[in-house]
Amino acid sequence: MSKKEIVKYVTTVNQLPDKKIYINVNHLEKGDYELSVINKNKIISKTHFKKK
């Protein structure tokens, strides 16, 4: 019989966000929207969506 090797897995978890931002699309008027997330005057994320 062969010996089984014991494998150990180690990982780290980044800190979970402690703040949340909610956008209630129900209160927006119908139309096309662009959502930009900005950090230190630089756009880090841009999303387009349409409210029908």
In a domain, 21, yes or no: no
Amino acid at 21: I
Q: To 5 degrees, how large is the angle CA 42–CA 38–CA 48?
A: 110
Cα separation, 30 vs 20, whole angstroms: 25
Q: Print the domain residue range for 48.
A: 27-52
Domain assignment present for 44: yes
pLDDT band at 4; cut points 50, 70, 90 = confident
pLDDT exceeds cutoff 70 at 1: no
Residue 34 lies in a domain: yes
46 lies in some domain:
yes
Tokens 């180690």 correspond to 10
Q: Residue 28, CB half-sphere, CA atoms under 13 Å: how many?
A: 14
- The count of structural domains within the chain is 1
> What are the pLDDT digits (tens) for 7-41?
888 988 888 778 888 889 888 999 999 999 999 99
Can you give the pTM of this predicted structure? 0.54
Q: What is the pLDDT of residues 38-52, one digit of tens each?
A: 999 999 999 999 998
| Model pLDDT, residue 13 | 80
